[in-house]
């Protein structure tokens, strides 16, 4: 209560009612080591209802994860270790960044997939731990929870335990206003084991018993339904929606402390109590780590602990090289790249949302990950883009695997919240989006991306790469797996010629067609690089010399020095961009743009491209206009 009061902001009601649960998880059930928060065999804990972050911060403080009372006092303040919602990489002991409801639950499913896979590969003596996720009504109302729970039940992820904070309150009021779902029945229909713990939210022994039963259950994930009372034991606001999002007043805090029988002073934390708590945590951790050290396979342990370290030179050496006679869709090239680098990037878990062959996100000659085959490296997500995106974030943040997930580019919209959180979390996910333009063709405007490149480029920390040809596709994969964060690789449905050696990917842009005394620069991305080159050749036949730049990644190009960027795109020359999508944003690099600022149409892909101006004649005309001819 004290931290939200001091911040004049926060959500103490849920944290109050879940305090006994958190105490039991951290002090009796979970296997964790505060002195080494990244211990690879720790149990993972995710607060999907991340607005209750003060609950997790209180437990991290008590268990000795490095938080201090001053950190709690600076809750939700600038540059504090206790931001409004938990952020991975910012606060030790926080596994994922949560807040958008339901995302943490789906992250937990991904973590459970990673754990099951690694357990099968390296043995339970080296990897065997549980993922615990606390979810609220809001998490389970969000659609992503359906997709994720369905997937988890199908895969029988029995090291996943979700605890449902059944307080029946949302910001607007009682859940009776909006929801009459039978949550236990819903989860049983997914194939989950369900424990209806009942009115035991203040009974630590009963909570422990329920969690131990959940942990022991084999063959299905478990949902523990815990009936709680938001704001308890406040005399005034227990079970009231006002307890959810509004910090208690000083009087309300005082009246609650009186009920609790503790001093009415802010941030009361007796030294003896805190020391005893930390000693207990240290002793439990030492026992768990000692047992693991004595049982873990030394070789397997070293493999898991070093899994995040990749040899870029080895990967580069294993990349396939496509000669100039190759005419191949970049989605097909991507699959060949995955196959060629299987040994140099061995920890890939690839999958797609029912579009495995269509997107290229397929590992040839490998089996599918399933309830009966945990060693499989191909994850079949089904038609669940929301769940796939968030599960990939969980897998990446779990560690030990590199998740690759594919779908049609237009459905990046279904994954955007997860992609955004991947960027915020620096999760090394590789999002593969094929069918990247109106070249999709007959499926029409619902399936033809227009604004999607601009949309993804707007996300800070997301590396977006749209390769021009098979060789750039190979180098895009190298850039993705060696990047400290997520990457979106945007691939073509239609065949494209091999025009480059992949040299533009590392710097983000490079001149691939040069001419003497150029009067303009044409910039292309993806399949439009071929259009740009053909336009340059036609202009040359008319005595107009231009350079062509392939620009697969704005983000990588923006990281260059001013001088390096000027060498590729001289500001003294007109610069014409060619991209089969919205021209929004191109003013950063181009003086003139050829693009598509409308939705597409249903027709063969080459026809749609031509009718919407993505053709040589339009690029030639635009270039001439740019140079005043």
Point out the residues that are catalytic: 385
Complete edge-to-edge strand list for the sheet that includes strand 520-524: 510-513, 546-550, 520-524, 575-578, 592-594
- CA 488, CA 412: separation in Å to the nearest integer? 10
CA distances from 147 to 113, 151, 167 (A): 15, 6, 23
Q: Do strands 222-227 and 592-594 pair parallel, antiparallel, or not at all (unpaired)?
A: unpaired
DSSP code at position 329: E
HEC per residue, 409-478 = HHHHHHHHHHHHHHHHHCCCCEEEEECCCHHHCCCCHHHCCCCHHHHHHCCCCCEEECCCCHHHHHHHHH
HEC per residue, 469-514 = CHHHHHHHHHHHHCCCCCEEEECCCCEEECCCCCCCCCCCCEEEEC
Cis upstream peptide for 205 (omega within 30°): no
For residue 408, give the nearest of 440, 362, 455, 451 by alpha carbon. 440
Q: Token digits for 243?
A: 């307890």
Question: Cβ distance 442 to 602 under 8 Å?
Answer: yes
Beta bridge partners of 576: 522, 592
- CA 604, CA 618: separation in Å to the nearest integer? 19
Radius of gyration of the chain (CA): 27
- CA 377, CA 381: separation in Å to the nearest integer? 12
Burial degree of 66 (CB within 10 A; 0-12, 13-18, 19+): middle
Q: Token digits for 4?
A: 């939200």
For residue 522, give the H/E element and its range: strand 520-524
Taking every pair of Cα atoms in the chain, the longest distance, rounded to a whole number of angstroms, is 90
HEC per residue, 576-600 = EEECCCCCCCHHHCCCEEECCCCCC
The CB-side HSE value for 162 (13 A sphere, CA atoms) comes to 34
Question: Cβ distance 387 to 148 under 8 Å?
Answer: yes
Q: Do strands 169-170 and 592-594 pair parallel, antiparallel, or not at all (unpaired)?
A: unpaired
Q: 86-117 burial by CB neighbour count: b if 16+ within 10 A, else e?
A: bbbeebebbbbbbbbbbbbbbbbbbbbbbbbb
């Amino acid at each position: 209560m004290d931290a939200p009061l001091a911040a004049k902001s926060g959500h103490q009601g849920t944290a109050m009612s879940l305090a006994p649960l958190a105490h039991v998880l951290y002090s009796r059930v979970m296997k964790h080591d505060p002195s080494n928060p990244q211990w690879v065999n720790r149990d993972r804990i995710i607060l999907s209802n991340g607005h209750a972050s003060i609950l997790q911060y209180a437990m991290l403080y008590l268990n000795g994860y490095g938080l201090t009372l001053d950190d709690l006092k600076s809750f939700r303040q600038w540059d504090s270790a206790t931001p409004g919602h938990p952020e991975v990489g910012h606060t030790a002991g926080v596994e994922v960044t949560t807040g958008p409801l339901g995302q943490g639950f789906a992250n937990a499913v991904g973590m459970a997939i990673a754990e099951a896979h690694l357990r099968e590969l390296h043995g339970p003596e080296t990897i065997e731990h549980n993922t615990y996720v606390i979810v609220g009504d809001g998490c389970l109302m969000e659609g992503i929870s359906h997709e994720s729970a369905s997937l988890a039940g199908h895969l029988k992820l029995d090291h996943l335990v979700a605890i449902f904070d059944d307080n029946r309150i949302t910001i607007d009021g009682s859940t009776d206003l909006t929801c009459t779902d039978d949550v236990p029945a819903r989860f049983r229909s997914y194939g989950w084991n369900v424990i209806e713990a009942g009115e035991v939210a203040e009974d630590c022994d009963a909570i422990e018993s329920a969690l131990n039963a959940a942990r022991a259950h084999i063959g299905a994930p478990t949902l523990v339904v815990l009936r709680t009372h938001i704001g308890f034991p406040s005399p005034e606001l227990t079970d009231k929606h006002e307890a959810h999002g509004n910090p208690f007043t000083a009087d309300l805090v005082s009246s609650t402390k009186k009920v609790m029988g503790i001093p009415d002073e802010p941030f009361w934390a007796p030294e003896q109590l805190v020391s005893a708590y930390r000693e207990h945590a240290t002793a439990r951790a030492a026992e768990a780590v000692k047992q693991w050290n004595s049982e873990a396979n030394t070789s397997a342990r070293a493999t898991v602990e070093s899994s995040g370290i990749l040899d870029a030179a080895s990967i580069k050496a294993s990349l396939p090289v496509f000669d100039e006679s190759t005419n191949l869709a970049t989605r097909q090239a991507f699959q060949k790249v995955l196959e060629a680098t299987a040994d140099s990037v061995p920890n890939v878990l690839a999958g797609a949302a029912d579009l495995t062959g269509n997107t290229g996100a397929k590992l040839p000659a490998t089996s599918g990950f399933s309830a009966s085959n945990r060693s499989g490296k191909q994850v079949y997500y089904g038609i669940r883009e929301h769940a796939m995106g968030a599960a990939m974030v969980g897998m990446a943040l779990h560690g030990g695997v590199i998740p690759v997930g594919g779908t049609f580019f237009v459905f990046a919209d279904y994954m955007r919240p997860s992609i955004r959180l991947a960027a915020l979390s620096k999760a090394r996910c590789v999002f593969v989006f094929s069918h990247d333009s109106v070249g999709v063709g007959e499926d029409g405007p619902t399936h033809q991306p227009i604004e999607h490149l601009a949309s993804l480029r707007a996300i800070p920390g997301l590396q977006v790469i749209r390769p021009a040809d098979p060789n750039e596709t190979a180098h895009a994969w190298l850039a993705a797996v060696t990047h400290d964060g997520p990457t979106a690789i945007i691939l073509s449905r239609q065949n494209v010629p091999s025009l480059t050696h992949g040299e533009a990917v590392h710097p983000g842009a490079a001149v691939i067609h040069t001419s003497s005394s150029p009067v303009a620069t044409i910039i292309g991305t993806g399949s439009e690089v071929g259009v740009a080159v053909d336009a340059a050749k036609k202009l040359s036949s008319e005595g107009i010399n231009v350079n062509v730049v392939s620009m697969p990644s704005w983000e990588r190009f923006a990281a260059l020095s001013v001088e390096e960027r000027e060498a590729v795109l001289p500001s003294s020359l007109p610069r014409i961009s060619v991209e089969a999508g919205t021209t929004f944003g191109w003013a950063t690099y181009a003086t003139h743009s050829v693009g598509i600022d409308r939705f597409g149409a249903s027709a063969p892909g080459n026809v749609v491209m031509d009718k919407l101006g993505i053709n040589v004649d339009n690029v030639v005309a635009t270039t001439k206009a740019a140079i005043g001819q």
